[in-house]
Amino acid sequence: MSRVFVDADACPVKAEAERVATRHGARMFVVSNGGLRMSQNPLVEVVIVPDGPDVADMWIADRAGRGDVVITSDIPLAARCVENGARVLKHNGEALTAKNIGQVLATRDLMTDLRAADPFRQGGGRAFSKADRSRFLDALERELRAAAREET
């Protein structure tokens, strides 16, 4: 049975992920270092990890593998999960795969270097939209169906 792992810090689609995972009967792990409300859903386990850099990421990467779906915007975590055979989605529904994760990592590194070179460079991503939420729901549905096919 597929499992869903949610990197819960700053995740805008936790409730949507829970709805879709529950519809598929998939166990879901919501991982954070605190500040989350416990779910009454028996398929959802809230995992509180100790404070520290990347502790939640390590918890997910150590467990996620083939047939699982990971929801994160953390690119290094996504790369580890893809390497382990998991399916990975960003919050906007963008799939991170073995084919595109190298380019996504390189772009992330380039942007980090550009920000470091210009400390006055401001900016961030665009606001999370209803269209992003809708794309995420469609993508998670597809990924859970594909993960279920992998298991058979």
> In a 3-state reduction of DSSP, which class is residue 94?
coil
Please report, in tens digits, the pLDDT of each residue of the chain (152 residues total).
799 999 998 899 999 999 999 999 999 999 999 888 888 999 999 999 998 889 999 999 999 999 999 999 999 999 999 999 999 999 999 999 999 877 877 776 666 666 677 777 666 667 888 999 999 999 999 999 998 887 66
Strand ranges in 24-139 using DSSP code E only, listed in sequence order:
27-32, 44-48, 69-71, 87-89, 95-96
pTM of the model: 0.87
Domain boundaries, given as residue ranges, for the chain = 3-121+130-151
CATH topology of domain 3-121+130-151: Rossmann fold (3.40.50)
> In a 3-state reduction of DSSP, which class is residue 125?
coil
- Write the CA distances from 105 to 7, 9, 112, 114, 129, integer angstroms: 18, 20, 11, 14, 24
DSSP single-letter state for residue 68: -
